[in-house]
Amino acid sequence: MKKNPCKEGGEAVHHHGRTTRRRSDLFESLPDEIVISILCKLSSTASSPSDFVTVLLTCKRLNKLGVHPLVLSNASPETLAVGAKNWSDEAHRFLKLCVNAGNKEAYYTLGMIRFYCLQNRGSGASLMAKAAIKSHAPALYSLALIQFNGSGGLKNDKDLRAGVALCARAAFLGHVDALRELGHCLQDGYGVRKNVEEGRRLLVQANARELSCVLRAFNTSPSTTSFEFRNHHRRPNLTDSDGYFCLPGSDSDFNVRSSENHRSNLPVRELHPANRFLVEWFGLRRNGAPGLRLCSYGGCGRPETRRNEFRRCSGCGTVNYCSRGCQAHDWRVHHKVECAPMEEWMGHAIDDVDEDEVGDDDRTVEIEEIEGDDDGIHV
């Protein structure tokens, strides 16, 4: 019995007296709405820009529908995580397409790149402001730091009250660094009426949120089992001398150090792709801004926009930070043991001072702004 080619999912075609079968293209028969929906899911879950772009290069139809505004507006931060090493006109154009689609992550990422890397201050700040209007917490916090530091302008261009307002909004949205910055502002009366008790409460809340992030990371990390945690991290010290929750750092402020100083299989703090870009960008251009310094916290990447814009540690005078949040992270990572000169450590060991007479120096040192253009140490 002769088979009907149409029943096998094909199409009968008569050519020069012969009957052949051509299979129908199911992909081409799909409506555009379904393909766009699939691409939206891809753009929101891709782990890197290459994962997304590779699919678009498969065929002309995917290439065309992949730049649909609905697809680009759903792109996740990792899909937009363009690397500084791969920065090009095409990468810039891709981010601009996402900006035109109304993607708030693209507003923030391209805004940070333009403001700090391409030195297009006005356009960068405008893009971050658009992201802030969409309640993007990192954008609100970055704009707050710009106001606190007067970045992109003169020292007199600082607006402390605006910085506090932006910080408060970012803190309300759950941004931990903004919560910590706001706590210090209240404690010091910096741009807001002084309220030590409320500032203290916000600082404790910020550290508690960081602690909860660490515990969640341990619970969800496939590389760290409960057995490893019990055997390598018994009874970690979670408070510092001020009563704050803290995690003694090794390679990251979210790492936990055991008695054997074990540093593997530990969850690390994820940087926003925009910060990763800054770190990589200025790592490749170490001599690109003579006289200007980067924030000493390795996970920040922000550079000064004028000399002595950032505040310097008053304990050692060798490091500087764009914010109290970065200072707190770097203190736990490694500066806590680097701040005091080695001679001072050796002096305590040689003098054999009685333990009862030694004060607890497990504290976060103050950072003070440097007046003028001198490079002296200010305590």
**DSSP assignments along 252-318, one per residue:** STT----TT---SS---PPPPHHHHHHHHHHHH-TTSSTT--B-SSTTT-PBPSSTT-SEEETTTSS
Polymer length in residues for the chain: 379
Task: Copy the structure tokens of residue 227.
Answer: 């057995």
Look at phi and psi of residue 59 and say left if phi exceeds 0, alpha if psi is from -120 to 50, else beta: beta
Task: Copy the structure tokens of residue 192.
Answer: 């807001």
The DSSP-derived string for 38-84 is HHHHHHHH-SSHHHHHHHHTT-HHHHHHTT-HHHHHT--TTTT---G
Model pLDDT, residue 226 = 41
Model pLDDT, residue 91 = 93
Degrees to nearest 5, angle at CA 100 with 98 and 105: 45
Residue entry with tokens 């910085």: 163
Model pLDDT, residue 288 = 58
Three-state DSSP at 115 gives helix
| Sign of the alpha-carbon dihedral angle for 176, 305, 276, 115 | positive
What does each C-alpha distance from 262 to 45, 210, 228, 248, 259 come to in angstroms?
Answer: 33, 21, 11, 12, 8
Residue entry with tokens 């109290």: 324
First CA to last CA distance, the chain: 98
Model pLDDT, residue 29 = 86
Model pLDDT, residue 11 = 52
Note whether 106 and 78 are within 8 A (CB).
no
**Along the chain (379 residues), what's the average pLDDT of each consecutive run of 10 residues?**
46 52 68 94 93 91 93 95 92 95 96 95 96 96 96 91 96 93 93 94 91 75 45 39 36 33 44 91 76 88 92 86 89 80 48 38 43 37
C-alpha 190/C-alpha 352 separation (Å) is 41
Note whether 256 and 214 are within 8 A (CB).
yes
C-alpha 210/C-alpha 270 separation (Å) is 12
203-227 residues labelled b (16+ CB within 10 A) or e (exposed): bbbbbeebbeebeebbeeeeebeee
